[in-house]
Amino acid sequence: MGAMPDPTDADTNAAIWKSEEVARTFAAQSEQREQQRREQLTLVARLLPFGPDDAFTFLDLGAGTGAASRAILAEYPRASAILGEYSPQMTAEGTRAMSAFDGRFRYVELDMLAPDWSLVGPAPLDAAVSALSIHHMPDDRKRAIFGEVYAQLRPGGWYVNFDPIRAPDTEKGLEAIWERVNDRYDPQAPHARTHRTAQEQARYENHIRYMIPLQPQLEWLRAAGFTNVDVFWKRLDWVIYGGSKPL
């Protein structure tokens, strides 16, 4: 996965995700990414404790262009989504990508580094999800976000996260194994790693800057009050984990 950037360096999230060029590139690649992650996004949807005919409202945290929301809205025809996103550029691209679900979603401005939850609304959420966003947060924010999500959920509500992780520090060779096997799934990856554009390199460094192992995140969920905490799916450095707020 490469050497970690120094997490004390200036945070680059805003420079990356509020770029018109990055937003357009990200949106253009969204269909391919969703095809590759269809199984995982469907699992995120099916982990939510609802039947196909249930009406409920969920928050997609750090929603980007809405890949997780689309998977859930397709699975539950009566569900409604609130997409929390802080980049106007990503929101604009996501609004176009979400057009098939007009009337069933709304974007709200939500900066995960300093969230103002008032735009989400006063009603407790039935569920919350995040996909490829939590790993962009410093550790103190990861832990705080889990507590903030817990506070927003109604009793019995679920939170599910799909994200990449790093290997534990005690297992130095594990990431090399993950990379080798991932390259079998994506034979173009070795060439891509050594031929990144400046924009791609900046996105990569931003991607791994705050990435951490899995175990502390499970502990932070439990400390926030979540029960039924589990790793529901894992393939190498990709995981789906979550838990529920007690009734």
80 domain-assigned: yes
8 domain-assigned: no
2 domain-assigned: no
Here the CATH number for the domain that contains residue 60 is 3.40.50.150
5 domain-assigned: no
Which of the two residues, 200 and 68, has the higher pLDDT score? 68
Residue 64: which region, alpha, beta or left (left: phi > 0; alpha: psi -120 to 50)? left
Percentage of the chain surpassing pLDDT 70?
A: 86
Q: How far apart are CA 84 and CA 245, in angstroms?
A: 20
What's the whole-number average pLDDT of the chain? 89
pLDDT attached to residue 21:
66
Domain total in the chain: 1
Tell me the whole-structure pTM to 2 decimals: 0.87
pLDDT in tens, 200-247: 888 788 888 899 999 999 999 999 999 999 999 999 999 999 999 999
pLDDT attached to residue 48:
98
Mean pLDDT of 49-63: 97
Q: Which two tokens stand for residue 112?
A: 């995960």
184 domain-assigned: yes
What is the span of the domain harbouring residue 225? 13-244
7 domain-assigned: no
